[in-house]
Amino acid sequence: MYIKSGSQVFFLLISLSVVVVQSNPVRLNFSLKYDTHHRPLRFFWYPTLDNQVPAFLEGGPSPNAKAAEHQIKFYLYTLENPTTPEEIEIGKEETILSSYFVRGAPLKLVAHGFSSNYLEGPAPAMKNAYFKANLTCNFIAIDWKPLAAAPWYDTAAAATKIVGDRTALLVLYLHSLGHVQLEDVHFSGHSLGAHIGGFMGKAIGTGRVGRITGLDPALPLFGDVDDSKRLAPSDAAFVDVIHTAGGTMLHGGLAFISPRGHADFYPNGGEDQPGCGYDAFGSCSHCRSYLYMAESILSAPGKFPCCSCSSWDKYLNGNCQCQTFAVMGEYASRNARGSFFLRTGSRYPYSLSF
C-alpha cells in the first residue's frame, strides 16, 4: 500500500490501526482482509470526493455479465429535462419515443469511476455545463454503481468490459432505429469509466464511434495489459485524454501518465494540480480532469490553450518551440495529434491564456 505526499511515497506494512505520515497520525479504521492462505490482500486507498475507501486489487467476486445487465442503467437528460432523468432501456423503443430524446442530436455518454455513481462526479458537472451552454444534445449518464462499489476494485475493473459492451449495445440500438449517427457519439469516462469507453468502442468497431474522451484513465490493473483490454487510440475516430493524477503505481499514480489517445493533454504536467494542497490520496487532482472538461464546455473554443512538446520539463524550461497548438477539452480539434502541455489556475476558472 502507498500514500502519496508530493513526490514522496510511503510504503506501509499495516499491522496497527494507526499510521504516522510525516508527524500526523492518520487513523485507518479498517481491518486487513486475507486470502485462504492467510496472506494479506493487496490494496490501496482510493480517493472519493470527500473521503478515501479501501480498494482491493485481488480477492473480489467475478462479475456476472448476465446479472450485470440489470445493474447498468442509462439515464437521459436533455434541455427539456435537465434535472429529472428518464431511463432508456435497450430493446424497448417506447422508453425512447415517450422520452425527450432528440432524434438526430449529438449523443453525449458519461461514465463514473470506482466507488461512485451517476449523481456525483463527471456526469452532473458535465451535464450542467452542456445545458448552461444551451447545447442541444442527448446526454446519457451511465450508472454502474453496484458493479463499481468499494472495496473490490478488481471486481469493478473486470466489470468495465461488461459495462462497455452493454453501452455499445445501447449505441447500436439507437443507431439501428435512426436516432443517432455513430460519428455524433461522444463518450467521456472518468478513471475506470475511461476504460468503459474503450470497451464500448472496441465492441462497436475500430474507429466507428466519433469520439472518446478519457478523463484521467485509471492505472491500477490496466498498466500491464495490452490495448485490447484498456482504452486505446483505435477505439474511436478521435480519442483525447486529460491527465491530472498520473504516474506509476510505484510513485503513487492513480492514473496513466503515458499517452492513451490520439491527443493527450497534460495540465500542469499531468500530476499534482495547483490548488490541491496536501493531496495525500490524490482525490483533488484526480477529479480535476472532469472539472477542466466541464469548464471547457462553457468556455469559448480558444480556452485551455496548449503547446505540443515532448515533456513537461522542456515546456517549463522554455525548450519547446510550440509550433503546434491545440485546445484541451470539449473543443479539442479532432485533428490534434501528440502530447500537449499547459498551465491552469489553482481555482475556478482554471483556464489561463498563454
Same-domain check for residues 6 and 104: no
Range in 43-52, 93-102, 148-157, 188-197 with the lowest mean pLDDT: 43-52
Q: Classify residue 262 as exposed, middle or buried by CB count within 10 Å of its CB (0-12, 13-18, 19+).
A: buried
Whether the per-residue pLDDT at 236 is higher than 70: the answer is yes
**What is the reported pLDDT for 48?**
80
**What is the reported pLDDT for 252?**
60
CA distance 170 to 176: 10
Known catalytic residue at 179: no
Provide the β-strand partners of residue 44. 55
Range in 11-20, 99-108, 200-209 with the lowest mean pLDDT: 11-20
* pLDDT tens-place string over residues 327-339: 999 999 999 999 9
For the chain, what is the HEC assignment?
A: CEEEECCEEEECCCCCCEEEECCEEEECCCCCCECCCCCECCEEEEECCCCEEEEECCCCCCCCHHHHHHHCEEEEECCCCCCCCEECCCCCCHHHHCCCCCCCCCEEEEECCCCCCCCCCHHHHHHHHHHHCCCCCEEEEEECHHHHCCCEHHHHHHHHHHHHHHHHHHHHHHHHCCCCCHHHEEEEEECHHHHHHHHHHHHHCCCCCCEEEEECCECCCCCCCCHHHCCCHHHCCEEEEECCCECCHHHCCCECCCCCCCEEEEEHHHCCCCCCCCCCCCHHHHHHHHHHHHHHHHCCCCCCEEEECCCHHHHHCCCCCCCCEEECCCCCCCCCCEEEEECECCCCCCECCC
Is 311 within the bounds of a domain?
yes
Same-domain check for residues 181 and 268: yes
Q: If you average pLDDT over every residue of the chain, what do you get?
A: 88
**What is the reported pLDDT for 326?**
95
Same-domain check for residues 20 and 72: no
Same-domain check for residues 70 and 52: no
Confidence of residue 353 (pLDDT cuts 50, 70, 90): confident
Q: Is 284 left (phi over 0), alpha (psi -120 to 50) or beta?
A: alpha
Point out the catalytic residue in the list 216, 235, 264, 279: 216
**What is the reported pLDDT for 259?**
97
Is 348 within the bounds of a domain?
no
Same-domain check for residues 52 and 69: no
**What is the reported pLDDT for 278?**
79
Same-domain check for residues 167 and 316: yes
Could you tell me the pTM of the whole model? 0.89
Same-domain check for residues 195 and 114: yes
Is 144 within the bounds of a domain?
yes
CA distance 64 to 147: 10
**What is the reported pLDDT for 17?**
30
Residue with cell string 458535465:
126
CA distance 144 to 195: 13
Is 353 within the bounds of a domain?
no
**What is the reported pLDDT for 34?**
54
**What is the reported pLDDT for 156?**
98
Is 349 within the bounds of a domain?
no
Instruction: Choose the final residue of a domain: 19, 37, 56.
Output: 56
Same-domain check for residues 286 and 195: yes
CA distance 155 to 147: 7
How many C-beta neighbours within 10 Å does residue 243 have? 29
What's the CATH code of the domain at 315?
3.40.50.1820
Q: What would you report as the CA-atom Rg of the chain, rounded to the nearest whole angstrom?
A: 20
Instruction: Choose the final residue of a domain: 12, 29, 56.
Output: 56
Same-domain check for residues 110 and 240: yes
Confidence of residue 24 (pLDDT cuts 50, 70, 90): very low
Mean pLDDT value of segment 313-330:
90
Residue with cell string 474511436:
236
Point out the catalytic residue in the list 165, 286, 289, 351: 286
Same-domain check for residues 169 and 26: no
Is 46 within the bounds of a domain?
yes
Same-domain check for residues 26 and 72: no
Residue with cell string 477539452:
329
Is 350 within the bounds of a domain?
no
Name the grid cell of 165: 459492451
Instruction: Choose the final residue of a domain: 16, 31, 56.
Output: 56
Same-domain check for residues 102 and 174: yes
Mean pLDDT value of segment 55-81:
95
Measure Cα distances from 342 to 22, 136, 266 in Å: 31, 30, 7
Confidence of residue 354 (pLDDT cuts 50, 70, 90): low
* pLDDT tens-place string over residues 5-17: 333 333 333 332 3
Total domains in the chain come to 2
Whether the per-residue pLDDT at 26 is higher than 90: the answer is no
What is the domain extent for residue 319? 65-342
Point out the catalytic residue in the list 115, 188, 191, 308: 191
* pLDDT tens-place string over residues 241-268: 999 999 865 566 789 999 999 999 999 9
Known catalytic residue at 333: no
Q: What percent of the chain has pLDDT over 70?
A: 87
Known catalytic residue at 190: no
CA distance 280 to 132: 33
